[in-house]
Structure 1
């Protein structure tokens, strides 16, 4: 291989993160209720294998050939049974790189329907929905707690290839976990982090 070939391969590509196994998109759905903006949240169905009963935004894995924003709108339409034409995409918020080797792309959209009661959810994926006024998040900081991420190696890990052998002490990382408490609802984890990030964007 020649330097010219290496240069062409590096120049003609879009850089991306390494180690990412899956890509997801979520939508932060906004709705106006009596002239006041609310965020819509889902309570995940007990039918789901991952995080049943947790609070989340509409979202899911990005399909092959699909734009990130298209995935967010599609997932919202499928989960809340709203026509895509009723979902007005307002823009893209920050994306989240998790410690679990996946990226979540976040979009914000306005749900253009007459009333919240007209939403009939996909019961296989969503148990129920609820809303939180935007002003609640503007006036309340998220609670923050620290978790420590530690490395655990397989039994056949080749310590003998390392200068320190089995005395090797891998780095640890801090991971902030956020919580919001609104009435009897608890919004936490990735959903709270996406909420917090969105609020920080619109406040500044």
Structure 2
């Protein structure tokens, strides 16, 4: 099965912040985990269509308030064995409306923080390996952590190009 996630970015005082959700505790998959907004691709949808649909369903951000900046890494989830494709999305006018049946919290984390902390390798009970970031007691692990680790440099390049594009716009 195919799954997609948006790696949403908002700029606060000209600094990029990643938007994370904490998935609702009652969900059947990845309950209570810190993740990016996303989900399964439905029949007839492209990956990008599914990503924008999930972004709006989970945190209330419509496609017309975003800029798709590029494709990031893909990974396979350990337990549910889903292939997850990530997309970098810049949210132009942040206003969040959480779907409380799927999302219990929202976190903003400075992208630059990930330059200063490491993705620590962990061994799962199954014997598989993954990594995790721990930020002020919040644990970001598994597929979400691997996407950050594997895409961090590409995210910075794409965002630098986006910032250049913004500064070239008339009236800015």
TM range (shorter): 0.7 to 0.9
- What does 1:66-85 align with in structure 2 at a 5 Å threshold? 66-85=45-64
Alpha-carbon distance change, 184 to 147 in structure 1, aligned in 2, over 3 angstroms? closer
Q: Is the 8 A contact 1:29 1:110 kept in 2?
A: yes
SS at match of 1:199: helix
- What does 1:4-153 align with in structure 2 at a 5 Å threshold? 22-98=1-77, 100-113=80-93, 115=94, 118-147=95-124
**When the two structures are superposed, what TM-score results if normalisation uses the length of structure 1?**
0.70
CA distance in 2, matches of 1:98, 1:58: 15
Residue in structure 1 matched with residue 166 of structure 2 by the alignment: none
Q: Is the 8 A contact 2:88 2:155 kept in 1?
A: no
Q: Which runs of 5+ in 2 are unaligned?
A: 158-172
**When the two structures are superposed, what TM-score results if normalisation uses the length of structure 2?**
0.82
Residue in structure 1 matched with residue 170 of structure 2 by the alignment: none
SS at match of 1:70: helix
Residue in structure 1 matched with residue 168 of structure 2 by the alignment: none
The number of aligned residues is 156
Alpha-carbon distance change, 148 to 50 in structure 1, aligned in 2, over 3 angstroms? closer
Choose 1 or 2 for highest CA Rg: 1
CA distance in 2, matches of 1:32, 1:136: 14
Q: Deviations over 1:67-118 (max 9, x none)?
A: 11111111011101112111211110121134554211111100111x5xx3
CA-based RMSD of the aligned residues comes to 1.9
SS at match of 1:196: helix
Q: Which runs of 5+ in 1 are unaligned?
A: 1-21, 150-173
CA distance in 1, matches of 2:104, 2:75: 25
